[in-house]
Structure 1
Amino acid sequence: MQKFDSFSAFYPYYLREHANPWCRLMHYIGSTLVLLILAWILLTDAWFWLISLPVIGYGFAWFGHLVFEHNKPATFHYPWYSLAADWVMYKDFLTGQLSGKLASAAIKQS
């Protein structure tokens, strides 16, 4: 695995590790569920359910890597960069910026 000294150097690598759109979809589902459950927790004071957030978020993401991407998630080598990159990728998807960033990372899109 490459060594990364900055998030800006890591993010294109992260996108290449998420080239499969179905894998990215699993990430988006997990991230959306995390946000919805977090909102529910805040509204209901059900703080115990905070422990479910990493299970749900990472569960969907790792399923995407296992089934669609067939690679090892970057979380194991770069946990903080990977966590940040997941949210940046989600933001890029929601704001319509992801296509350009995928192209910049030399990822073919179907």
Structure 2
Amino acid sequence: MPRFASFREFYPYYLGEHSHRTSRRLHFIGSCGVLALLVLAIVERNGWWLLAALVCGYGFAWVGHFFFEKNRPATFRHPFYSFAGDWVMFKDILSGKIPF
């Protein structure tokens, strides 16, 4: 496993671990679910929706890794960079930089 001195070094590696289009789509759907569940947690003032958001985000992402990418999620080795990578990739998909 390579070591990274910065997120800028990590992100190209992260994208390489998400080369399968279905995996990227699952990550994107999971991230949309996370945002919706965060809003629901705030509106309902119920912390259980935060747990649901966590399960939703990681659930969709891990299905993408285990069944489509056939790799181990970067979350296990680089949790902070991986979390940031999820949201940067989400933004890049929204902006059209990365194909959906």
Give the TM-score normalised by structure 1.
0.86
Match of 2:85, SS state, is: helix
Q: Distance in 1 between matches of 2:48 and 2:29?
A: 22
- After superposition, where does 1:1-110 map in structure 2 within 5 Å? 1-98=1-98
1 or 2 for the larger relative contact order (CA 8 Å, sep ≥6)? Answer: 1
Do the aligned residues in 1 keep the contact of 2:75 with 2:82 (CA within 8 Å)?
Answer: yes
Q: Cα deviations across residues 11-56 of structure 1 (Å, max 9, x unaligned)?
A: 0000000000000011011100000111111112122221222111
Which amino acid letter does the alignment assign opposite residue 68 of structure 1?
F
Alignment RMSD (CA, Å) = 0.9
Q: Structure 1: state its 5+ residue gaps.
A: 100-110
Counterparts of 1:48 and 1:21, CA distance in 2:
31
2-side partners of 1:12 and 1:76: how far apart?
17
Query: What is the rounded CA distance, in whole Å, between the counterparts of 2:49 and 2:39 in structure 1?
Result: 11
CA distance in 2, matches of 1:73, 1:50: 21
TM-score normalised by structure 2 residue count: 0.94
Higher-Rg structure is: 1
- C-alpha contact (below 8 Å) 2:40/2:49 kept by paired residues: no
Which segments of 5 or more consecutive residues in structure 2 lack a partner in the other structure?
none
Cα separation, 1, equivalents of 2:87 and 2:36: 15
Q: In 1, distance between residues paired with 2:48 and 2:54?
A: 13
Provide runs of 4+ in structure 1 moved above 4 Å: none
Aligned residue number for residue 107 of structure 1: none
